[in-house]
Structure 1
């Protein structure tokens, strides 16, 4: 029930973001609708260098506005999405990509989630297992002594 509510909330919030991106595009001029779609695609996969957790389409920072204008200019000059992405990576590094490539510098980014899942599974196993406590087993002679001590300590009429 909680999962359904969280998914519904996420979908509602995600649907609110789409009109914001579309409204911002109207302020940029493109010769063809395909170019406008490329602009949307690129500005949603490129991260704002200042905001860090927002893409270029969502950010209101000055640098994001400048980068959106740069993307518009590069699209209008006929560069491909790959060329534009490479240009941005050369200027700002792999950080500008929400989906960085797998290489030595980004290996930790890719392996950290797997490591965290493995640590979490280990913690669940380690702390969730039940230790089976077995009662102390007495030898027949020890059991006889225990029964004798219990019998001696019993007071009449208490049973």
Structure 2
């Protein structure tokens, strides 16, 4: 019973979102802090790669949160801050990078890989259903080969 309660508490704690923003990083102006939190959710942690800097505890994520807040205090707009980060770190720093020639693989690569995999599986299954298609048809035996086999078989019968 106690184990079940402890397990349930651990699961609840682990399932809660990890807010990595430290109190010292927070801005005094609630409106600016709200903007900072929204922007941080759109910026990728370059260490974790699949977390926003709002959720990441990595050192680089903290540095990016500080830079973002400094730019907000300086009066930059959201788009100016994103442009600044993209110029510094590339389009990959955004969790939703823009669709352009350099980011086509980021957007359509997984889809293309899935389609190619599905085609490969379909080809495999079709060949398997048709009996392979690549199997060689055995050539009929010549008269000499047939005589040789008959001789070997009769020799085997004599030994048995």
> Normalization by structure 2: what TM-score?
0.61
Structure 1 93/14 Cα, relative in aligned 2: closer, same or farther at 3 Å?
A: farther
Per-residue deviation, 1:13: 8.8
Structure 1 108/14 Cα, relative in aligned 2: closer, same or farther at 3 Å?
A: farther
Q: Report what 1:67 is aligned to.
A: 64
Structure 1 28/15 Cα, relative in aligned 2: closer, same or farther at 3 Å?
A: same
CA displacement, residues 83-132 of structure 1 (integer Å, 9 cap, x when unaligned): 11001011111121121112221122222122112112213322334337
CA displacement, residues 60-91 of structure 1 (integer Å, 9 cap, x when unaligned): 23222121111111112222111110010111
- Give the Cα separation in 2 of the matches to 1:45 and 1:124: 36
Structure 1 13/115 Cα, relative in aligned 2: closer, same or farther at 3 Å?
A: farther
Structure 1 47/14 Cα, relative in aligned 2: closer, same or farther at 3 Å?
A: farther
Q: How does 1:122-133 map to 2 (within 5 A)?
A: 122-129=119-126, 130-131=129-130
Structure 1 104/68 Cα, relative in aligned 2: closer, same or farther at 3 Å?
A: same
CA-based RMSD: 2.7
Instruction: Please give the secondary structure, in 2, of the residue aligned with 1:53.
Output: coil
Q: Report what 2:42 is aligned to.
A: 45
Question: Number of matched residues?
Answer: 119
Q: Does the 8 Å contact 2:21/2:55 carry over to 1?
A: no
Structure 1 90/31 Cα, relative in aligned 2: closer, same or farther at 3 Å?
A: same
Q: Could you list the runs of 5+ residues in structure 1 that have no partner in the other structure?
A: 1-11, 134-159
Q: How does 1:17-32 map to 2 (within 5 A)?
A: 17=17, 20-21=18-19, 24=21, 26-32=23-29
- Give the Cα separation in 1 of the matches to 2:15 and 2:68: 24
Q: Could you list the runs of 5+ residues in structure 2 that have no partner in the other structure?
A: 1-11, 133-160
Q: Report what 2:16 is aligned to.
A: 16
Q: Report what 2:152 is aligned to.
A: none
